[in-house]
Amino acid sequence: MDYRTVVTLLFLGFALLELRAGRFFQPGRATLRDWMIEGVCGIVLPLVVIPGVFAIVPAVLEVLAPSSADALADWPWWQMFAVLLLADDLTQYLWHRASHASPVLFRLHRAHHSAPYMSVRVTYRNNVFYYAMMPGLWLSAALVHLGFGPVYAVYAVLKMAVVIGAHASVPWDAWLLARRWTWPALFVIERVISTPTTHAAHHGRHAADDATHYQGNYGNFLFLWDVLLGTAKITRRVPEAYGLEHVEPVSWAEEVAWPLVGRDR
């Protein structure tokens, strides 16, 4: 089974859990604007932007370095996995962190934070250029061309399982949080990978809420980057509200397609 099919099934699995819990449609929170953002992003990003990058990079590499396909295919799998963690996940952490530090880059990322809820629906909720310019996506495409394909398939499934689960409104770590005897294991888990609780803190709306950690908890797959680079905050509590505080709302089209759509601010 192709890894993209597995990722789709993971997404649908979490979505079904949210449907069963009555949390997928986000009644009273999600507006038509939210549906438009998530509908466009949910189609364009995984079906156009990401495959487009993976099609462009090999073509360019073959022009720059003919016969470069599978040039590194004889590397041990663990070396490939380690390189992917650095080339894809660490660079995404840095790209994510930079997007919160720069007012210009944040306009490419604000759609992800304007949702007043957590849900699998938020997973791909980002400006199309935020993904199109993501360094790790281009590096991953290059590595797959060079022979990392089979290892990347496993890596992508593991990463997306964590990322989708971290955004889900049915948190998988609630079971661990509710039982003190699991806390030693949770102590390790929540410092290695992103969990629903640590990532929810990043989406908190109010700075005065101690459970909110907007300028931190940037990790996508590994939360370890936050721990090592000093941006981690673990409270084991979730924010009272989600969304953007003191930020002027913009149209769904500007959220998705700025700078092609929208005005200077």
CB environment 203-219: b (16+ within 10 A), e (fewer): bbbbeebebbbbebbbb
Amino acid at 232: A
Given CA atoms 102, 126, 134, 228 in this order, what sign does their dihedral have? positive
pTM confidence score: 0.95
Position 265 scores a pLDDT of: 52
Position 54 scores a pLDDT of: 97
Position 264 scores a pLDDT of: 58
Position 248 scores a pLDDT of: 84
Residues in the chain where the model's pLDDT stays below 50: none
pLDDT averaged over every residue in the chain: 95
Q: Which two tokens stand for residue 33?
A: 């604007």
Q: What is the pLDDT of residues 76-105, one digit of tens each?
A: 999 999 999 999 999 999 999 999 999 999
Position 93 scores a pLDDT of: 98
Q: What is the pLDDT of residues 210-231, one digit of tens each?
A: 999 999 999 999 999 999 999 9
